[in-house]
A and B are shown apart, each in its own frame.
Chain A
Amino acid sequence: MFQPLSRQAEMIHSASLVVLAITAGIFIVVSLLLVYVVWKFRRKGPEDDLKEPPQIYGSTHIELAWTVVPIIIVLVLILVTSRTIGEIQNRKMPPNAVEIRLIGHQWWWEVRYEKEGIVTANELHVPVSQRTGEGMRPTQIFLESADVIHSFWVPQLAGKTDLVPNKKNQTWIEPFAKGTFFGNCAEYCGTQHANMLLRVVVEDPEDYEKWVQTMKQPPAAPQTGLAAQGHKAFFENSCINCHTVDGTIAGGVYGPDLSKLMTRQTIGAGVAPLTPETLRAWVRDPQTLKTGCFMPDMKLLDSEVDAITAYLLTLK
């Protein structure tokens, strides 16, 4: 969080620097005082035991002083806090803002660009924003949950906002730099809370548009070879009950949408990079990669595993 690369993270960063400076100052002053007092008034030898030191019961002036000074410091902190809260929470989104619906599931993220009609998982693509002027294009994220509470947190882009079932939350990000940023689910949500990872890919506006166009095309059904067999096997097994593939009868909503599976960088919400090998291992038995996740071991034959993997590899 000390390398903020978005407007919100920068706002938080500057507020936290003020807080850090104040607390560090207090720490230095008080701990020096403590060390001084402990050293200065230590027992110096047996002769100290003969006579008790002067008995002081208190001093109204001194106590007043160390009541008033903290109050003033707290007032400063309160001002900084309220200002930053207001700036972040009450920020108006411009009409060109990208809008994303992010829905938390046990243990993956459903990503929906409702305006563009794109559905994917565990990966946000957003355009880079300029600080001012025409190129300023923040992204607004609407947060919902399908089951328990999750929390959205990409430290370099934004602080946390929870995804609460039966409650509509929102946050926004406005990245100033390109790159891939990592986030975790930050509210304990069950067995695989640790492997509920999110990445945010920040791209040039042109690349982002290109990505949007690719994502809009439904995948072509393979006609020949192993992939075609896999296509058949995919629809004959129960895969379609939980997964969606655009343009087919597969319309399950329980698991991640697979239409554009191969555009993603990871599998299992970030448990492993998405490669033909990990994909095959996942189709073979997801429980070996991500213990406790809700996709069961389908007990497929080796030939079916190969074929379905080949089919899934065409989904891009």
Chain B
Amino acid sequence: MTPQTADDNFEIPPPEAIGHERGSLTRIVQELVFTVDHKKLGLMYIASGLLFFVVAGLMASLIRIQLAVPRNNFLEPDVFNRLFTMHGTAMVFFVGMPMLFGFANYLIPLMVGARDMAFPRLNAFGFWVFFFSGLLLFFSYLGAPGLYAAGSAPDVGWFAYSPLTAKAFSRGHSTDYWTLSILLGGIGSIATSINIIVTALCLRCKGMILGRMPLFVWIYLVVAFLIIIAIPPLSACQIMLILDRYFGAHFFDTQAGGSAVLWQHFFWIFGHPEVYILMLPGFAIASEVIPVFSRKPIFGYPVMVAASVLIAFISLGVWAHHMFAVGMTSIGNTFFAISTLLVAVPTGIKIFNWIGTMYGGKLRFELPMLFCLAFLFQFLIAGLTGVMLGVAPFDWQLTDSYFVVAHFHYVLIGGLLFTIFSGIYYWYPKALGKMPNFKLGLLHFLLFMAGFHITFFPQHISGFLGMPRRIYTYDAGRGWDLWNLISSLGVILQAAGILFFVINLIYSYVKGGKAGDDPWDAWTLEWAASSPPPDYNFETLPEVRSRRPLWDLKHPDDPDWKYE
């Protein structure tokens, strides 16, 4: 190529020369850093989520080693406290959130028949802000010693109740790392969510009215709205905390008439919707996988949409059920108990509709379906323990005990992580063009499921027996020893399961059979693109007449649009 600017000595190098030839390391790094392609960003979200997942998972393993036997001296109390804080923070903000954004990024443009997200550069911005806020959090291990080396990683718990976070009780800079990384991460989340909303509303292909949008996109639309409403309270209370710690403000300073409970209200106004922000994407994946492997359309599409909206709506009014023990009036407690129990109704509808989808179908037990079936069963347990926790008097006994730990791990692992695995296996052929290995996947599934139940089911019991959460050690003879030992042993199986998962990801990429464009015989638009899809996704933008455009294509004699 000839230089384009002849008037000075500066020559624009031809495109090939910038990053050397394709496949070299610099070229790959360049592609990753400069890309605004929703598919690459989506995979980067998922990959970095997996990276943080492994780190935070190893932290959890250390925690379980310490708790395996009473009065164990494996970890110092401060080290333990940092581990559970980092584990919780990382899993919620830097594993759960990027995973959900990864799926959104990769799939929503494909599903609505668009070439990219609405704002590709904002999309890249969102990813990098998230990624560096995650690094900032982990950097606290190195960077936070601060005043008299009094701190390292944050040790205030993932919901960081004030006034434990005040300067007086949290010296050094560890809490500042926590605050700043979450504040930053929140900005990235809001940017990406606005992008999701705009993409879903403004980039749909011809004919895709809202009532024909795949359920996956619908649920993500709800999630994105929930994020832009729920994350600002989190950002607000982080800003307040920074003002308190650095400028002597008194938002949470109990010595100056401030309120310690205010933090809890603000945090949980974010924190409870956050649970649904994480869980609804799981529903979204299940709502795509279950119909395809049952060979039937989703049962009660309008009701599923309505239930998602209703869950999001109610979830904004239930926050104080995390605070039943804080000394609210009986009227306050009753109100929040009622609103909490009401969430059970739309959630129940969803479970029944998934079962309704399978009823009368021909179920194919491929990897994605196996994970989804386990999800249904585990989420049922999680939902029911959630009902127990919603009953305020019962909660007075159970809150802040290992029962709660068991409950939310059933939600986030049994519910969310299983659907994420399902989603990864389901869209793996689309994203990489290779079929995942079934045998390795089955090993992953069996080992991980067994390990998960062995680890977390006994925690319900130790909670019933009075074991509070976040204790670094305990005395023998209070009935907790056996349950803790079993719980710790389960970790080995889980770790083995994850190992097979990682092996499978790599092995299938190298040796897996070639996947066609539509290996599962599915119905949504992403399967109309090639595998992996080209940068522009579709050669010509598609046009749809029903919720299952590919069904219409495959069954011209009996298309969906006749019935909708």
Q: Residues on A close to B: CB < 8 A?
A: 1-2, 9, 11-12, 15-16, 19-20, 22-23, 26-27, 30-31, 33-34, 37-38, 41-44, 48-49, 52-59, 62-63, 66-67, 70-71, 73-74, 77-78, 80-82, 84-86, 88-90, 106, 143, 147-149, 151, 153, 155-156, 158-162, 164-167, 169-170, 182-195, 197, 270, 291-292
Contact = CB atoms under 8 A, between A and B. Distances in A.
A6 B511 CA distance: 64
A188 B157 contact: yes
Interface string B101-122: 0000000000000000000000
A77 B77 contact: no
Given A53-B295, A85-B334, A62 B387 contact: no
B482 interface: no
B515 to A, nearest CB: 18
B313 interface: no
A197 B477 CA distance: 14
Given A53-B361, A151-B400, A164-B260, A26 B384 contact: yes
A185 B358 CA distance: 47
Contact of B393 (A34, A62, A85): A85
B275 interface: no
Contacts of B243: none
Contact of A23 (B351, B384, B474, B563): B384
B297 A162 contact: no
Interface in B161-201: 161, 163-164, 168-169
Interface string B348-377: 110111011011111111000000010011
Given A160-B396, A187-B161, A292-B77, A70 B391 contact: no
Contacts of B303: 58, 63, 67
B348 A66 contact: yes
Contact of B296 (A56, A162, A182): A56
Given A31-B377, A291-B77, A160 B399 contact: yes
A57 B563 contact: yes
Contacts of B468: 153, 184-186
A34 B394 contact: no
Nearest to A166: B254
B163 A19 contact: no
Interface string B327-354: 1011001100110011011001101110
B380 interface: yes
B202 interface: no
A77 B391 contact: yes
A158 to B, nearest CB: 8
B76 A166 contact: no
Contact of A12 (B157, B334, B394): B394
Given A54-B360, A291-B76, A160 B388 contact: no
B474 A41 contact: no
A88 B393 contact: yes
Contacts of A89: 329-330, 333
Nearest to B333: A85
A80 to B, nearest CB: 7
B397 A16 contact: yes
B466 interface: yes
Nearest to A66: B352
Contacts of B169: 106, 147-148, 190
Interface residues of B, number: 93
Contact of B297 (A57, A160, A161): A57
A33 to B, nearest CB: 6
Contacts of B530: none
B127 interface: no
A43 B395 CA distance: 43
B259 interface: yes
Contacts of B474: 194
Nearest to A194: B471
Contacts of B363: 38, 41-43
B146 interface: no
A149 B391 contact: no
Given A57-B301, A166-B257, A81 B163 contact: no
B485 interface: no
Contact of A16 (B254, B341, B393): B393
B470 A193 contact: yes
A41 B358 contact: yes
B466 A166 contact: no
B473 interface: yes
B294 interface: yes
B250 to A, nearest CB: 11
Contacts of A12: 393-394, 396-397
Contacts of B401: 186
8 contacts: A1-B466, A11-B393, A19-B394, A63-B352, A148-B161, A182-B466, A186-B401, A188-B164
Given A12-B393, A70-B344, A149-B164, 13 more contacts: A15-B393, A55-B560, A56-B297, A84-B391, A159-B397, A160-B397, A161-B327, A162-B327, A166-B255, A169-B326, A186-B399, A186-B400, A190-B164
